């Protein structure tokens, strides 16, 4: 299931939308660039609909534009061979070791579209969260005019399905063949059938600590944290 991980929104000052501006600024990190307010919103886990509706309202009013959007998916599968194959065929691409594991990239950071594929399990282990199975993430970073077009193509009344379709199109455009049937939310993984046997011996208290750790690292929304902890209690 694809999600929006990151948005950069450039705002044009106007008094008609002051309350909306302040609302959006409170949801992200604000700065100034070339005389305009720039708001960066990270970790829109489960695709925070209120934030997306707020940005959509400002963009459609012509007082804001999205200049970067990152759409990601996480997989219960080792993507290293797939990523290496894509890198070998790409005009621009490469591999480096970071966050305790391998990261592959296709495209240039300066281009309108860029993909990174990395070992999410290795990153979490480095942060003290043990993951007993392969867990990889693929992120598509879209910038400039294309970012605004992708954002406007998202159907807010069918958010999950719409983002899955957009993500698949972007991934295919970058010539990556990823296993859709292996995709999963990182946080969902810890209450999934895949994780249950590996974590059964820990008990619910230890699993709660894993989920809380993930929330600190990935910015899981408070409401979803309660939802996932409720599910943990029902499983254990």
pLDDT in tens, 146-177: 999 999 999 998 888 888 899 988 988 888 88
Distance CA 127, CA 138 (A): 19
| Residue 164 or residue 126, greater confidence | 164
Among 225, 160, 136, 228, residue whose Cα is nearest residue 190: 228
Distance CA 172, CA 165 (A): 11
Q: What is the mean pLDDT of the chain?
A: 77
| Residue 149 or residue 194, greater confidence | 149
Read off the pLDDT of each residue in 57-64 and give the average, rounded to a whole number: 92
Read off the pLDDT of each residue in 49-55 and give the average, rounded to a whole number: 90
Residue 48 near residue 10 (C-beta atoms within 8 A): no
Read off the pLDDT of each residue in 127-146 and give the average, rounded to a whole number: 83
**Which pLDDT value is given to residue 73?**
86
Model-level pTM?
A: 0.76
pLDDT at 193 over 90: no
Residue 166 near residue 1 (C-beta atoms within 8 A): no
Share of the chain above pLDDT 90, in %: 22
Domain layout of the chain by residue ranges: 3-182, 186-235
- What is the Cα 133 distance to its own chain's centre? 20
Distance CA 121, CA 16 (A): 46
Helix extents (H) in 13-142? 18-26, 49-60, 80-89, 120-126
**Which pLDDT value is given to residue 94?**
74
pLDDT at 216 over 80: no
pLDDT at 209 over 60: no
**Which pLDDT value is given to residue 181?**
59
| Residue 54 or residue 90, greater confidence | 54
Indicate the pLDDT class of residue 222, thresholds 50, 70 and 90: low
Q: Which residues of 26-41 are buried (b: 16+ CB within 10 A; e: fewer)?
A: ebbebeeeeeebbbeb
């Amino acid at each position: 299931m694809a999600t929006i991980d990151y948005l950069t929104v450039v705002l044009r000052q106007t008094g008609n939308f002051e309350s909306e501006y302040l609302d959006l600024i409170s949801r992200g990190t604000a700065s100034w660039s070339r005389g305009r307010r720039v708001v960066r919103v990270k970790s829109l886990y489960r695709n925070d609909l209120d934030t997306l509706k707020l940005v959509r309202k400002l963009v459609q009013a012509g007082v804001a534009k999205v200049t970067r959007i990152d759409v990601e998916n996480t997989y219960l599968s080792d993507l290293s061979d797939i990523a290496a194959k894509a890198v070998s065929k790409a005009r621009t691409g490469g591999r480096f070791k970071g966050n305790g594991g391998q990261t592959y990239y296709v495209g240039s950071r300066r281009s309108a579209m860029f993909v990174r594929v990395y070992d999410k399990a290795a990153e979490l282990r480095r942060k003290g969260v043990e993951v007993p199975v392969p867990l990889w993430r693929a992120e598509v970073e879209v910038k400039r005019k294309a970012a605004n077009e992708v954002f406007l193509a998202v159907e807010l009344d069918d958010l999950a399905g719409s983002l899955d379709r957009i993500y698949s199109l972007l991934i295919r455009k970058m010539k990556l063949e990823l296993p859709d049937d292996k995709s999963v939310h990182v946080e969902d993984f810890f209450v999934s059938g895949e994780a249950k046997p590996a974590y059964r011996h820990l008990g619910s208290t230890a699993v709660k600590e894993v989920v809380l750790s993930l929330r600190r690292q990935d910015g899981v929304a408070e409401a979803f944290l309660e939802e996932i902890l409720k599910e943990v209690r029902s499983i254990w």
